[in-house]
Amino acid sequence: MLVNTNFMLKNTYLRFKTYQNTNKYFILVGIFCLFSYTCLIAQPIVEKHMVGKKIEGLVKENEGLRMLIVGDWGKNGQSGQQDVADWMGVAAAQIGARFVISTGDNFYPTGVASTDDPQWWFSFENVYRSHSLNVPWYAVLGNHDYNGNTKAQIDYGKKSMRWKMPAPYYTMAQGNVRFVFIDTCPFVKGYQNNRKSYPDLAAQDTTRQLQWIDSVLANSRETWKIVVGHHPVYSIGDHGNQHELHTQFKPILEKYKVQAYFCGHDHNLQYHHLPNTSVHYLVSGAGGAEHTPIHATQAGVIFAKETNGFMTVQVKKETMLVCLIDEKGTIIHQVSVGLKGK
């Protein structure tokens, strides 16, 4: 009997491929089901115990731009970070926040090593899971971020739909608001004198950045101007006033009548405003790192509290409302800023 070996080999191969493809199909289906189940189980971990929770006194304005501002948070969900994240989710849903701003020190203690660093999951993706926080996150770099790979934080935006840091400093306009995100770390002499701990500082040109900030603000036609950086101009926290920002940034902010400067670095919530200046200085560095004490007061201090927390900001045509909210979901202070900074 003649045997058609070619036919048998072809038939065997086709059966094997069918078996192989079927197995691949079931494997893929299994992975998808497992992933879906994990999402269904894990996603509500933050939200389940927050269902029905509201922040008393937090009112959604009928018009304008709404956002959250948080800083100094990347602690693997520990040290109060998760509590703050939970209430951020509530606040974002309550006011309909369009985005979140991070004032730096996004990852402790030494930034991230790469775009695949586990910190992205354990300190960011797996902490800020509320659906209301699935919005763009505009971030700046802090000193702890400079201990690691700063380019990885810029490049992560190519992998993430919500992480936005196109450069160490950048600008954007949202309606009638001009945002200027600055990189304050290269201006701090203590870091420049310790390049071993802050290797990426060498690539930063402070003169060029100052010229860029001046140019952006000079050419801005938006009625509101908000600047975001990591280090404070004014603070009564552990770090205190940052001298380099006093001498180099403060004159620019006042020259162009910037209404607000938001920052972090000190792990608490503060509000400063001096007479005869348009600039309101707000410290939002209480996102999850261990909060630090408030020290002796100084001129211009309106409010300061040692606590974890964040801020909500709602910018209308003529006014900007800022709510300082602690880790228990309580509004501890409110700020109303007029268009002319009063």
Domain positions in the chain are 1-42, 55-338
List residues with catalytic annotation.
Answer: 239
| Distance of alpha carbon 59 from the chain centroid | 22
- 37-46, 70-79, 225-234: lowest mean pLDDT where? 37-46
Indicate the length of the chain as a whole number.
342
Q: pLDDT value at position 30?
A: 47
CATH of domain 55-338: 3.60.21.10
Q: pLDDT value at position 175?
A: 94
Residue 177 has pLDDT above 80, yes or no: yes
- Residue 109: is the preceding peptide bond cis (ω within 30°)? yes
β-strands 99-102, 137-139: how paired? parallel
- Separation CA 122–CA 129 (nearest Å): 11
Mean pLDDT of 308-331: 98
Mean pLDDT of 18-40: 44
Q: pLDDT value at position 47?
A: 64
Q: Mean pLDDT, the chain, as a whole number? A: 88
Percent of the chain with pLDDT over 70: 86
Residue 127 has pLDDT above 60, yes or no: yes
Beta strands in the chain (DSSP E): 65-70, 99-102, 137-139, 163-164, 170-174, 177-181, 224-228, 260-263, 269-272, 280-284, 301-305, 309-315, 319-326, 331-338
Residue 22 has pLDDT above 90, yes or no: no
